[in-house]
Amino acid sequence: MAVIKVHDKEFITYLSSETIEKRVREIADEINRDYSGKRPLFISILNGAFMFTADLFRYLTIDAELCFIKIASYKGLKSTGKIVTTIGLEEDIFGKDIVILEDIVDTGKTLHDFLPKLFHQQPNSLKIATLLHKPEATEYPHQLDYVGFPIPNKFVVGYGLDYDGLGRNLKEIYQLK
Ligand code: IMP
Ligand code: MG
């Protein structure tokens, strides 16, 4: 098991790149089945979801649209509880089938703040796909339609997720030691 250092903290390997890839493929297969004959619009939440989004998209065989928004609530190892939108949604989502792509759902606050804005625009349907979920950290519950891995309430980095700006480029997911 590899130990790595990001900033001042040590992390150990938690999910290998093979494990992640296999699961991302399975989620893509499920989405391909569920949205067969439809043309969903995927809304990927930057920054963390960029890698999950890119990998998932390679395995989609349906017609799929993609856009990005940027919201963040984290500073260091803790959620600040304040959500800041820095790149908003430009697309008109009225009548569309929406799939939100998240790297991780932790307290659920990000989605709690963002989802009402989407529902306000009356999409035809809305589902959530997240690579990781920390069930024990839930403060705002959501129906998560596609979950890659439920994980314990420990800080993780890698595969798009950062610790204070670093670690996003790691192919594996690491857990705080
Ligand atoms: P929530 O609003 O508490 O659900 O947090 C969601 C966002 O916080 C995610 O999209 C991540 O950007 C960030 N986040 C939550 N937990 C972690 C973690 O363990 N490592 C890195 N980022 C995290
Ligand atoms: Mg994020």
Tens digits of residue pLDDT in 110-135 = 999 889 989 999 999 999 999 999 99
pLDDT digits (tens, 9 = 90+) for 99-115: 999 999 999 999 998 89
Strand, helix or coil at 54?
helix
- Print the domain residue range for 26: 3-176
Q: Mean per-residue pLDDT for 7-18? A: 98
Return the pLDDT at 50.
98
Distance in angstroms (rounded) separating the CA atoms of residues 74 and 167? 14
- At 48-69, the pLDDT tens digits run 999 999 999 999 999 999 999 9
CATH number at residue 111: 3.40.50.2020
Distance 2 CA to ligand 2 centre (A): 25
Q: Which of 92, 103, 106, 162 is catalytic?
A: 106
119: phi then psi, degrees, rounded to nearest 5: -60, -35
Of the candidates 67, 71, 16, 61, which has an alpha carbon nearest to the alpha carbon of residue 44?
A: 67
pTM above 0.75, yes or no: yes
Contact between 159 and 173 (Cβ < 8 Å): yes
Provide the domain count of the chain. Answer: 1
Residues 65-86: what's their mean pLDDT? Answer: 74
Active-site residue flag, 113: no
